[in-house]
A and B are shown apart, each in its own frame.
Chain A
Amino acid sequence: EPEVTQTPSHQVTQMGQEVILRCVPISNHLYFYWYRQILGQKVEFLVSFYNNEISEKSEIFDDQFSVERPDGSNFTLKIRSTKLEDSAMYFCASSSLNTDTQYFGPGTRLTVL
């Protein structure tokens, strides 16, 4: 069964450093998403991406964040200058249509020290 994959599974970084989280969505899907979950809190939407551009973003997704689909398979989330409060699980998801079920990857645990 096709699945969303994410790398790395755990990323530790120093405050102020840039990180790039990587995702490979399901191959025939057209819509891509990033969500985050701070430990003990709910899953929160960050951004959705379609046709090589952002279709929607939340208030969390400020200028420190960016997304890119650099090739036909990868979908990345970059955090330019990490803060302590960026520590969370980051989940990538994809769907074939924006009305369809979103399938989640296993997540990247980001720890900012």
Chain B
Amino acid sequence: RKEVEQDPGPFNVPEGATVAFNCTYSNSASQSFFWYRQDCRKEPKLLMSVYSSGNEDGRFTAQLNRASQYISLLIRDSKLSDSATYLCVVHRVPSASKLTFGTGTRLQVTL
């Protein structure tokens, strides 16, 4: 089983739509969770951290379910500029410093 698993997509949605991405992770020792955004041929950029209580940043909501080892990202009112690949990332601090990335879910927002 892959350490971090995501549906690669692509998700093609019209502007203004709500879209949700899911991610599962296999290592229950994972302690920190993130969503990064990656534009084509660019570096990953932190979108938001993910907490068990759920957290929201504007149009973006992230949720963590430790029991199911499941992470989600909800984007409301999609904009053309949201088109990118969304990377689910886990961090097993303090035992390991590395980030483990999923393959990413591609989102294309259209007019």
Residues of A that sit less than 8 Å from B by CB: 31, 33, 35, 41-45, 48, 50, 55-56, 58, 89, 91, 98-99, 101-107, 109
Main secondary structure of the interface of A (DSSP, over half): strand
In the complex with contacts A42-B103, A42-B104, A106-B43 CB distance below 8 A:
yes
Of B11-19, B59-67, B91-99, which stretch is located at the interface? B91-99
Q: Is the CB of B94 within 8 A of A45?
A: no
Q: Is the CB of B96 within 8 A of A56?
A: yes
Residues of B that sit less than 8 Å from A by CB: 32, 34, 38, 41-46, 49, 87, 91, 93-94, 96-104
Nearest Cβ on chain B to A87's Cβ, whole angstroms: 14
Q: Is the CB of B104 within 8 A of A105?
A: no
The complex places the Cα of A99 from the Cα of B93 at a distance, in Å, of 6
Q: Is the CB of A98 within 8 A of B102?
A: no
